[in-house]
Structure 1
């Protein structure tokens, strides 16, 4: 069977299925955290629901008039910097006026933005290898922007509104980054650079084009001698004129409120109390919070910012720039199933009472239903691990390091550990804490030992192996449960939970699974769809999310070779995605543009609804 027609066949099999966790497996009231709010004055808000309440709690399939089957096909493909493709196509944006893709290329030195004209796509020139994977190209970069001519630093993100391009440039730790603006109505023309916060990681325009909002991650350096505050920058645009300065929102108002935030499920992982290289570490809340990604409501009123490592979302009211934080709580893996080991040589799904997932979303995207705002999150998960340079083990340990590695250097801090390296409380007597069971699973050291007796009564793992939908108040209304693992294992068999750069199945079962990271939302006719890119597997799941309380799986698409022992081929590690609606598409069909980080490829999927 050819790989490129696989999405069509799968969508046919899955048409009309709700995948509601077998009628919304309404598990025991468990550890879903308090989804309350810490407001401007720092007082805890309402206490949210606990426990997994199933996928959405609505049974049955949508009526025939509401279901619209999508048929995906790969119609365009370009490989950027083919000699060294990794990082050549991470973040992508679409310039509708001239039907061009702008792709961030960080594999070249200096970094560039590659411009790919897609006004004339001929899908018939794409060919397939013996495994059915498209490996050639029918598109190429037509021009590029050398960012070093305008600003030094690392390019992390880009966004387009009409003829305005914004690029996020990060400096060294402790130095404020910039947003660089270009006029792209013709050949790109530099406008100005606006200073923002430390490590700008993502930039986006409001739907009305009047504001640019930036997530400044503010990560520490390797030995925590510099640990900047995370922040959110807002740049006003009036009559197409970009302001000279940005408004910077920090999280200082939440310092001293870690206990209240933790009660909501906000996670703090840092070496506070330790001395590293002579520095006594005392990490505040505002230093620990690390903005990752921004999405803005359709009415341009609210900015939603994922705080990935902290398992939280911040909300900014753009009318007055007031700020709140919503902890996302935890997913109860006693109610769902996952494959927890990469060493068991099997597809082995099991439920684990006492094991919880930190949602820790990367990409988030906002949309509306019945006039209310909802946020979709790709629950990738992320731990913390920092190294600093050291000549040898003795020096490393004397400087307060935890361990020494000849390749990485001196380990300053990590919150990751394998479950088998922890002493578990007797409530885990039902399992074998070894390589064949949960022992290989990567879990957090900062959660689970509630009485500090060095025995873990609970385990917390990274990510939720799912995507979720949250309402404006931070309450979860939907989670895809264990569907990503179940769907990919059913389709790919022993190749499921593959890594992004090798064909050796089951290698990611111990660490976040297929790893949902990229996300886009788009409307086709009267239906709204979420596209969830799986960083490790390389596939993209498509769900109908028109009604956030009645979500249905629609189709799945992938262009990757998975045969063991074969040289890896196709599109690897979807990192950024952008949806092009029918009205702005050069083909007249809705398109999904994907930036694939490892393969350095830009792939364009057509989404037919006929």
Structure 2
């Protein structure tokens, strides 16, 4: 981590920790929360839940209609916990946010720093900002900027001897510790160390007015056991109650303890290594597949963020960099011995909740970025942020050497900063990635410790026989069983060896309790290929195209977007084709839109094709949903094909084996970011009526159209344009979880009791936070 978090943003007085039985407006004046004395609180009934997401582009306009990247990396809070201060290195400024009402944060403006702010903390009434002013990598420089929070004005600057990164202050307010990283140029020799000048640790003696504060420099070079003794490149610092600073030297896989009063290194030691078992270490061949069967021996921890959990123990988040990254976290004693090692547990958690970033499997997995520790209502908690899986894992630390998993919280894409504010029962994460083109906006997520069930995850899996979780992600279509509360989902083309998932929606969270691999033991795909022309052209699909759909083990690589239960048993799966006939250079046609009849065990029994004249119109936005009703299959095309002005609703007669096509009238684009509007899933309602998802391809502040419509095919002739009836605008439902509005609402199902279930596709956590919201909307239909 190049811009690690800053702990202890405010002094937390004992009076604010021992709460009395009064109403405190933690949730805004209109939604008070009953606080009770610590002794009467049962932490079993208390959980953290997200209350708001503040996209920092709102500093330039409430609707965020800007492409300019603006990135919150590190976050701190005023002494009263009412104002957040975050560093924004991309824009060379710090920002201020009013969180008096934790459900409705308000922009308070920004302040230029005259350089790149890398970290921020708060002491008394001031924000203390570490600012990088380096001309280049070999001429590093920096400064400490002191800002009055109330007036948001700069009151002092202190020169630093290099490029600063992490900053922390002691609880007694006597010292600041600032890591001078002097980071390497990753373009030089592939980022290999050493690259001088060397970094160090700066101690600031806080006495008198800020302009009079004095600095001392602690050398970190030449420590025995370092991998690169001339180039420590320190990463992160935290300070315990005895004013001992712990400093991680990530690339060196080393840890140093510094007494701030004397400026002496009291101990230093290797961070050591871990042998990881039952993890996924490959991200090839593509498409991806999460395969928790591999072992990695002696993987260097290479810790990034670190937090004290007592005077004698600290926890490191083992993100890794040059040579390692152990995918978890570790509790160390002062002598360097290990009190607890998380091992593969974080990797398994990500697979269980659908957040595995499989494209990072060959590198550092979920990449734990940082950690924080605080006491909430008498219970100690550890928070670990995963950069690549975009979640915060929460652990009960009542037994310090045996962290107990409590819950997991969704974060915006790539969380960097992490901040506990126990005086207000709040936790804040800062997610730095801001790229409007991939619908990611740099954001502050706010969570509240409250007497309420955990709201996330909404879906998780059970373990297989070997003890590893069923790894799932990229859910697309849904279909409900004819009785009960089970739905079936499919994963899309992000993964090879496609599967159907059996999901129990009565559980909270819903439970993936079985996986059914789609297979082709009877060579149905090869038989189809044999009927097609041998000459490849953009209007046909030959045996080369279709052979690529089958793996050596008989599993298949389709693009399942829709699923329906078959009346004769088993399933129908609609697979979206790849490529466009009018874009043969950039996106050549590689596969057709096909409907597969599967047995209850996933075996392909039949394949249905579109008519040749319709295939000749293919664009890459094809089959998105399928539903069987009254002896017919009805499929929804996502967007209009060549020569059409609206997307098709295809109707296939299972007896006559003939096709009809109607056209669906889409709503016009409404997002300020443009984009398109199309269809997703389709669900049979009976009597020739169907529920369809209509959505735009926008998320977060740019999302506008996420709707459920009802269509009626009764008496509709081939070529007819359908009418539609709005059943529900989903925007309020998608804002309900208090995160960014999710883009790809791709699955819908109607339970036997009349409840409607929807789910989003998280794109396999590729340029996506991985958040999955499976929502029960209740009974929407008369």
TM-score normalized with structure 1 length: 0.60
- Kindly state the Cα deviation for residue 360 of structure 1 after the two structures are TM-superposed: 0.8
Structure 1 residues 516 and 69: alpha-carbon distance in aligned structure 2, compared to 1, 3 A threshold = farther
Using CA pairs below 8 Å that are at least 6 residues apart, which structure has the higher relative contact order? 1
Does residue 176 of structure 2 align to residue 212 of structure 1? yes
- Kindly state the Cα deviation for residue 70 of structure 1 after the two structures are TM-superposed: 3.5
Looking at structure 2, the residues matched to 169 and 104 of structure 1 have their Cα atoms a distance apart, in angstroms, of 9
Question: Which residue, 259, 266, 271 being the options, matches 1:328?
Answer: 271
Does residue 49 of structure 2 align to residue 73 of structure 1? yes
Q: Which deviates more, 213-222 or 173-182?
A: 173-182
Q: Which deviates more, 217-226 or 467-476?
A: 217-226
3-state SS of paired residue (1:489) = helix
Q: Which deviates more, 224-233 or 189-198?
A: 224-233
Structure 2 counterparts to residues 469-484 of structure 1, below 5 A: 469-484=331-346
3-state SS of paired residue (2:347) = helix
Decide whether the 8 Å contact of 2:76 with 2:84 is kept in 1.
yes
Looking at structure 2, the residues matched to 246 and 366 of structure 1 have their Cα atoms a distance apart, in angstroms, of 24
| Alignment-derived partner of residue 282 in structure 2 | 341
1:34-83 CA-to-partner distances (Å, cap 9, x unmatched) read xxxxxxxxxxxxxxxxxxxxxxxxxxxxxx99853542222122111242
Decide whether the 8 Å contact of 1:80 with 1:88 is kept in 2.
yes
3-state SS of paired residue (2:351) = helix
3-state SS of paired residue (1:510) = coil
Question: Which residue, 77, 100, 104 being the options, matches 1:119?
Answer: 100
Question: Which residue, 80, 85, 89 being the options, matches 1:102?
Answer: 85
| Alignment-derived partner of residue 109 in structure 2 | 143
| Alignment-derived partner of residue 124 in structure 2 | 162
When the two chains are superposed, the root-mean-square deviation of aligned CA atoms in Å is: 2.3
- Comparing both structures, which one devotes a greater share of its residues to strand? 2
3-state SS of paired residue (1:160) = strand
Does residue 543 of structure 2 align to residue 574 of structure 1? no
Decide whether the 8 Å contact of 2:392 with 2:408 is kept in 1.
yes
- Kindly state the Cα deviation for residue 481 of structure 1 after the two structures are TM-superposed: 1.2
Question: Which residue, 448, 471, 487 being the options, matches 1:606?
Answer: 448
Structure 2 counterparts to residues 363-512 of structure 1, below 5 A: 363-368=305-310, 372-383=311-322, 444=323, 462-492=324-354, 496-498=355-357, 506-512=358-364
Looking at structure 2, the residues matched to 227 and 161 of structure 1 have their Cα atoms a distance apart, in angstroms, of 32
Looking at structure 2, the residues matched to 175 and 535 of structure 1 have their Cα atoms a distance apart, in angstroms, of 29
Looking at structure 2, the residues matched to 341 and 348 of structure 1 have their Cα atoms a distance apart, in angstroms, of 8
Decide whether the 8 Å contact of 2:81 with 2:421 is kept in 1.
no
Decide whether the 8 Å contact of 2:144 with 2:160 is kept in 1.
no
- Kindly state the Cα deviation for residue 144 of structure 1 after the two structures are TM-superposed: 1.3
Looking at structure 1, the residues matched to 81 and 220 of structure 2 have their Cα atoms a distance apart, in angstroms, of 40
Structure 2 counterparts to residues 15-30 of structure 1, below 5 A: none
| Alignment-derived partner of residue 563 in structure 1 | none
Name stretches of at least 5 consecutive residues in structure 1 with no aligned partner.
Answer: 1-63, 124-137, 269-284, 384-443, 445-461, 499-505, 560-570
Decide whether the 8 Å contact of 1:380 with 1:517 is kept in 2.
yes
| Alignment-derived partner of residue 142 in structure 2 | 178
Name stretches of at least 5 consecutive residues in structure 2 with no aligned partner.
Answer: 1-39, 58-63, 434-440, 453-782
Structure 2 counterparts to residues 303-314 of structure 1, below 5 A: 303-314=245-256
1:321-365 CA-to-partner distances (Å, cap 9, x unmatched) read 1114211111123xx321001125322112426x22111111101
3-state SS of paired residue (1:514) = coil
Decide whether the 8 Å contact of 1:195 with 1:246 is kept in 2.
no
Radius of gyration: which is bigger? Answer: 2
Question: Which residue, 286, 291, 311 being the options, matches 2:234?
Answer: 291
Kindly tell me the number of residue pairs found equivalent between the two proteins. Answer: 389
Does residue 492 of structure 2 align to residue 516 of structure 1? no
Decide whether the 8 Å contact of 2:130 with 2:145 is kept in 1.
no
Decide whether the 8 Å contact of 1:104 with 1:157 is kept in 2.
yes
Decide whether the 8 Å contact of 2:96 with 2:107 is kept in 1.
yes
Structure 1 residues 226 and 193: alpha-carbon distance in aligned structure 2, compared to 1, 3 A threshold = farther
TM-score normalized with structure 2 length: 0.47
Looking at structure 1, the residues matched to 68 and 333 of structure 2 have their Cα atoms a distance apart, in angstroms, of 39
- Kindly state the Cα deviation for residue 183 of structure 1 after the two structures are TM-superposed: 4.2
- Kindly state the Cα deviation for residue 86 of structure 1 after the two structures are TM-superposed: 4.7
Does residue 163 of structure 2 align to residue 199 of structure 1? yes
Structure 1 residues 337 and 86: alpha-carbon distance in aligned structure 2, compared to 1, 3 A threshold = farther
